[in-house]
Amino acid sequence: MEYKNKYFAGERILYGLTDAILDGITFGSAESPLKEAKNIRLKNSIFK
């Protein structure tokens, strides 16, 4: 799965995500947005 140019906010918003490409993602203030994530490619993204 691929996510492009999105904004995510909230606790563990992508919890357990596997086999994904995240490009141009902004993570708002939250705790552990990618907890338990596996095989993730993160490009051009920011954690606030």
| Full domain range(s) for residue 36 | 2-47
- Among all chains, which residue has been given the structure tokens 């993730």? 40
Strand stretches in 1-48, DSSP E:
2-4, 7-8, 18-23, 26-27, 38-43, 46-47
7-25: pLDDT as tens digits = 999 899 999 999 999 999 9
Q: Residue 31's pLDDT band (boundaries 50, 70, 90)?
A: confident
| Total number of domains in the chain | 1
* Three-state DSSP state, 7: strand
Q: What percent of the chain has pLDDT over 70?
A: 100
Lowest-confidence pick of 22-26, 27-31, 40-44: 27-31
pTM score, whole prediction = 0.85
Q: What is the mean pLDDT of the chain?
A: 95
Which residues, other chains included, contact 2 with Cβ-Cβ below 8 Å and sequence gap of 6+?
20, 21, 22, 23
What is the structure's pLDDT at 29? Answer: 87
The DSSP output letter for 10 is S
